[in-house]
Amino acid sequence: MNDLSGPGMPPPGCPAHNGGRPAPDAATRIPLYGPEFAARPQEYYEAMRAYGPAAPVELAPGVEATLVTDYAAALQVLQNPDVFTRDSRRWRALEDGTIPPDSPVLGMMGYRPNVLFTDGAEHLRLRQTIADSLSRIDAYRVGRHVERVSAYLADQFKHKGTVDLLNDYAKPLTFLVFNELFGASAEVGDRLIRGFTGIFDGVDAEAANQELAESLLQLVAQKRARPGDDITSWMLEHPAKLTDEEMLHQITILMGAGIEPERNLIANGLLLILSDERYFGGLYGGGLLVEDAINEVLWNSPPIANYATHFPVQDTDLAGVKLPAFSPVLISFAGANTDPALSASRQMLSKRAHLAWGAGPHACPVKDSASLVATTAIERLLNEIPDVELAVPADQLEWRPGVFHRALSTLPARFTPAQRQAAAAGATPAGRTSESGQAGNRAERKGWWSSFLTWWRA
């Protein structure tokens, strides 16, 4: 085990400060908020394993939980809905007022009437509507749209020579792809982006929530009046006959649970490719494929690192760890995927053996499309800008604090500007490229979705 006693390491009371043995006070909780955990999460997971398959943690000040880091134990929780409920209205500490109403974790853990927080027959009804609708997605259509969006975004920055691959590429790309899949009009799409951006970035969350709700209801109304070839219309056509209110909450979770992880999957994949010579240049000439990089990220650095909140319906023993009834139990997808028990055989397992997509009745229903979007987005970027490289060393990049995600703050890169490449080849830059700076400014002023639609139709 690494020396975890210095700055930025797990706090006193963690097993790492007791020779790798469980701390004398097994109730000592390990805080998972702040920059220390964000910077070196795997060292925390390693330390937690001294507690057994799950460890007592603090998700935010005053918010106690248990985090499962053992692969087999994680499957036991994920695949047993009769023992572990997802309905956070049964969270005992929240019911009795122990959890403050303004706790930062409630946005992810507080109850919402959507498929994520339901069990039994209601979960099956909502899940079937979603799964049946998502099954109609055409992979070729998705791939072509990602290619168009990638070309559009590259057009905004490839003349500059520098780019933030997270905020200028992965982030807007996921918004633009999801707007297409859900059939958003220009106006609705711009409002959806503003709403979700405000929520994700924590900027005036109340106003962002209101704009998001209004824009989604507007989208549903448009699709009831004029159905199209999109997920929203397919869900409305489903025999389950979801109400407008139910549609609002299901689309919110589908888009919210897709956009944030997808952009982080793309960014984390780009980071691996641009920093590891097995993938990009170096002595090996970049022998591994983008698909291999995505798979490695899903195993080692999944964009949703810790989530899938469950509540035991009675006092439960999880492989020797006592779980009080109706206390939150979270799955560490990152910790379980790197469980030492898997180390000898992990690379021999199926690519789908990792838990980044979850497991059991709440497993991600759209993992194939998510992988396709990430793979295509990275491949297209590397084709558009073949000499792209990190602008700072990988170990100097900053990770966003947060319990639930594994997300970079920025991913700065540099490359030869398009004009310079064209000049070196004795060619004149294409008109679209020479205007890319103006196009980028227009997109910021007008809205990314409406600007993209204008660009594409032209």
Given a cut of 50, is residue 8 above it in pLDDT? no
How far apart CA 208 and CA 392 sit, in angstroms, is 33
Q: Quick one: average pLDDT of 118-135? A: 96
How far apart CA 220 and CA 232 sit, in angstroms, is 7
Q: Quick one: average pLDDT of 341-358? A: 75
Tell me which of 2.40.320.10, 3.40.50.970, 1.10.630.10, 1.25.40.10 is the CATH number of domain 15-183+228-415: 1.10.630.10
Q: Identify the burial level of 427 via C-beta atoms within 10 angstroms of its C-beta, where 0-12 means exposed, 13-18 middle and 19 or more buried.
A: exposed
359 vs 423, residue with greater confidence:
359
Q: pLDDT above 70 covers what percent of the chain?
A: 83
How far apart CA 122 and CA 320 sit, in angstroms, is 32
3-state DSSP of 410-424: CCEEECCCHHHHHHH
How far apart CA 98 and CA 229 sit, in angstroms, is 47
20-29, 51-60, 62-71: the lowest-pLDDT one:
20-29
| Beta-carbon count within 10 A of 253 CB | 17
Q: Quick one: average pLDDT of 323-345? A: 91
Location of structure tokens 């908020």: 33
Contacts of 38 (CB under 8 A, 6+ apart): 399, 400, 401, 402
Given a cut of 90, is residue 247 above it in pLDDT? yes
* Residues in the chain, overall count: 458
- Closest to 301 (Cα-Cα) out of 40, 120, 107, 104: 40
278 vs 167, residue with greater confidence:
167
Alpha carbon distances (Å) from 40 to 31, 165, 400, 409: 13, 22, 12, 15
Domain segments of the chain as ranges: 15-183+228-415
Mean pLDDT of the chain: 85
Alpha carbon distances (Å) from 75 to 78, 131, 337, 404: 5, 21, 11, 18
